[in-house]
Amino acid sequence: MLKKILSISGKPGLYKLVSTSKTITLVESLIDKKRLPIYPQEKIVSLGEIAIYTSEDEVPLKDVLVKIKEKENGGEISDVKKSSNKELFTYFETILPTYDKEKVYASDVKKILNWYNLLIENDIDFETEDADAKKENEAETEAKTEEEEEKEESTPTEE
């Protein structure tokens, strides 16, 4: 589901992908449910493509959101907008202790926590995406395996 949830540079909140064409993308705001066109020159990022820097590697945003949901028992985070940078980092460290303190800024943490609240308010289940993605990956892997087997069968072998 996160692949269809978008962040648009210069616009507040998150947007749900409605449709796309060559010249325009139609989205619906999760805040006020209004639909609006987005043009190719505007920067659009799918939440499914975002990852958080850590000391070892990058962690997909989905994994971070799942950890927040576990910590909050499925509820919203209170007082995100009123929190100081120190409070934001302290909270975020309980979620992702290995986050890269040089690359992850307070504005990033605040944005992630606000996004989490928006997703929860709109009953968007970001956890079930794994099942869909797994099915797609399994289907792709199966198709590749069948192709490879067919190639092996049709390739003459030297004796």
Identify the pLDDT of residue 7. Answer: 95
Domain 50-121, architecture per CATH: Orthogonal Bundle (1.10)
What letter does residue 99 receive in the DSSP assignment? B
Q: How confident is the model over 120-143, as pLDDT tens digits?
A: 999 988 887 545 555 554 555 455
Domain boundaries, the chain: 2-47, 50-121
Q: Per-residue confidence at 83, pLDDT binned at 50, 70, 90?
A: confident
**Are the C-beta atoms of 35 and 81 separated by less than 8 Å?**
no
In this model, does residue 81 exceed pLDDT 70?
yes
Identify the pLDDT of residue 156. Answer: 54
Residue type, 151: K
CA distance 95 to 128: 20
Q: What is the mean pLDDT of the chain?
A: 84
**Are the C-beta atoms of 5 and 47 separated by less than 8 Å?**
yes
pTM score above 0.85: no
Q: Per-residue confidence at 157, pLDDT binned at 50, 70, 90?
A: low
Q: How confident is the model over 20-48, as pLDDT tens digits?
A: 988 899 999 999 999 999 998 999 999 99
Query: Same CATH fold, 50-121 and 2-47?
Result: no
CATH topology of domain 2-47: SH3 type barrels. (2.30.30)
The upper half-sphere exposure of residue 44, i.e. CA atoms within 13 Å in the direction of its Cβ, equals: 19
Identify the pLDDT of residue 126. Answer: 83
